[in-house]
Amino acid sequence: MERTLIIGASGQIGKQVTQTMLDGGHFVVALVRDTEKLSDLNGNTLSVIEADLSEDFSHAFKDCSNVIFVAGSGGNTGADKTLLIDLWAACRAADYAKEHKAKHFIMVSSIGAGSPSDGPEEMQPYLVAKHMADEHLIRSGLHYTILRPGALTNDSATGGFTAKMPDNKEDASISRTDVANALVYLVGANREQNMIKNLFNGKEGLTEALN
């Protein structure tokens, strides 16, 4: 069975992706900065690799067919961490994936990353980092999916999705659990074409929203 590398596996979305994939019998390589944060996860198909994304983490990609980059600097960090994680680490992850001949790279980006200058002023540095990381992946030659979720919430999963920007900006959101489920879906979808998709909670199924 194929192995999937999850970069940022101890984050709020990453941890849910990891457990869901383990529950489905997938072989998962979880890359984290602190292995203790995954001590409560169970699965005979789980390998955990401890590494700092500001250093060399290329060894984690060995024998991994799929890569999910769901790492993020977090809202409480400064511009330095945004550059190091959301931009530089994401770009290096794409380079490492290409070196190891990964079949599919799934990037968790952000709504607004397509046009950072149109976003709120306080968000523009973050959106620029996401934009440049996305562009690097697009130019890498890898088979890719770039997922740009709306504002993230801690609500329960709805199971409903849409890729269309809602008319009401207040509805341009999606639960972290729904994002996690979308990422697991994308791993198993075996899509051949590259894709960039916004994603919000809506009334469609994943197949319809991510067609």
pLDDT digits (tens, 9 = 90+) for 47-57: 999 999 999 99
User: Structurally, how many domains does the chain consist of?
Assistant: 1
pLDDT at 174: 98
Active site residues: 126
**How much is the CA Rg of the chain, to the nearest whole Å?**
16
Residues pairing with 47 in the sheet: 29
pLDDT at 146: 98
Region for residue 10 given its phi and psi (left: phi exceeds 0; alpha: psi -120 to 50; beta: otherwise): alpha
Long-range CB contact pairs, 18-21, < 8 A, 24+: 18/46, 19/43, 20/180, 20/181, 20/184, 21/184, 21/187
> For residue 144, what are the domain limits?
3-209
pLDDT at 75: 53
pLDDT at 182: 98
Q: What is the pLDDT of residues 129-181, one digit of tens each?
A: 999 999 999 999 999 999 999 999 999 999 999 999 999 888 999 999 999 99
CATH of the domain at 143: 3.40.50.720
Q: What is the pLDDT of residues 81-93, one digit of tens each?
A: 889 999 999 999 9
The mean pLDDT value for 47-74 works out to 94
Region for residue 16 given its phi and psi (left: phi exceeds 0; alpha: psi -120 to 50; beta: otherwise): alpha
